[in-house]
Structure 1
Amino acid sequence: MTEITCSSDAFELLKPNVNPTAEELWIIALNPQLQLISSEMIFRGTADYCPVHPRDIIRFLITHNATSFMMAHNHPSSSIEPSTQDLAITRRMYNCGKLIQIPLIDHIIFSSSHYYSMADHGFFKILKKSSRTI
């Protein structure tokens, strides 16, 4: 089984799937040893927007018996900096994962050549401190 123990592992897994014309949100479902159970594109959007609905992500995670997960999406513009919307959906999915006890461990924004990991940049440490309750 493929281990996804860090953001670069996730990037290497998804890099072949970069869509240059539309944003896509991918979910990586992991087992307790951080081994890949399944990865799937859950949503496809437009050149600069991708709708995301937590219920569809939760359904995917429960169906695959995930114990943790990563989110990843591409930016066709090649800018990998997170937008305000990216930060908001990360916070929302972090709280959903906490509620159902399937933690979100990273959200990666990627292009064909590089990526931005919210976990690597400390975003999840901030969420842990600020979310004492859901």
Structure 2
Amino acid sequence: MIMSELTDQELLIKFFSNSEQNRVGELASNFWRTFPTLTDFKIAKRQSKTDLIESDTQYQQLLVGIELGQRIAHQSRPVIGKIYCSQQIGLELVEQLRDDVQECLVLFCLDVKHQIVAQQVVFKGTLSSCPVHPREIFALALEHRAESILVAHNHPSGSVEPSQNDILFSKRLDQCGDLMGVELLDSFIIGDGDYLSLREADLFD
């Protein structure tokens, strides 16, 4: 059942469905009698809502649910950190990935202020390969409503020299990002104590 498809009346009955069966209709009817619409409930004076609570403890549970819903709706997205420059994120990635014996690709999703709202290991490959596809990366970016993304992968060999596949894949991500309106800020290769920013090295062009 998709909650968004329920009418206001059906949703309220659904909420009270855990009450005694013979009281579900009574509770719903009393609510609509007091507040004919949800707008009436929203603009009602505090005393009117207090009177409803005091009339039956089930309404207290309803108001707790409404309060929780309002708080959830007003929560901002969590911020993991902020990207200031390539050097900052490059050095942080070196610490995170330098000892990983498998090649992996990490995706960072950023908001309009370049704050990191999600960080996720998208793929973890064998000692020498890490199969990736842009659709999986951008599916996650869209899920997190990212304004821009940054990707990084490590070379277990310790070298930061980009392969032809590294360059082609980064260019492909850049092109896909242009089409989808999600900018690829940079693509990093992480080695043993060092990193390479493909954007700074002008390897996207």
TM-score, normalised to structure 1's length? 0.86
Provide the C-alpha distance between the structure 1 equivalents of 2:180 and 2:84, rounded to a whole number of angstroms.
Answer: 22
1:66 aligned residue:
146
Task: Detail structure 1 runs of 4+ shifted over 6 Å in the superposition.
Answer: none
- Aligned pair partner of 1:35 in 115, 120, 123: 115
Unaligned runs of 5+ in 1: 127-134
Partner of 2:188: 108
Higher RCO (C-alpha 8 Å, min separation 6):
1
What code does the residue aligned with 1:15 have? V
Aligned-partner Cα distance in 2 for 1:8–1:60: 25
* Secondary structure at the counterpart of residue 38 of structure 1: strand
2:126 maps to which residue? Answer: 46
Correspondence for 1:8 among 87, 97, 102: 87
Q: Say which SS state the counterpart of residue 85 (structure 1) adopts.
A: helix
- 1:131 corresponding residue in structure 2: none
Among candidates 151, 154, 175, match of residue 95 of structure 1: 175
The answer for unaligned runs of 5 or more in structure 2 is 1-78
Inter-partner Cα distance in structure 2 for 1:113 and 1:42? 22
The aligned counterpart of 2:155 is 75
- If each structure's strand is expressed as a fraction of its own residues, which one has the higher value? 1
Give the counterpart letter for 1:11 in structure 2. G
- 1:104 alignment partner AA: L
Question: How high is the sequence identity, in percent, across the aligned residues?
Answer: 34
Greater helix proportion: 2
Aligned-CA RMSD value = 1.4
Secondary structure in structure 1 of the residue aligned to 2:131? coil
Q: Which has the larger radius of gyration?
A: 2
Q: Is contact 2:90–2:197 with CA below 8 Å preserved after alignment?
A: no
**Once the 2 structures are TM-superposed, how far is the Cα of residue 112 of structure 1 from its aligned partner?**
4.1
Give, as a single letter, the amino acid of the residue that structure 2 aligns with 1:49. S
Distance 1:112 1:65 in 2: 33
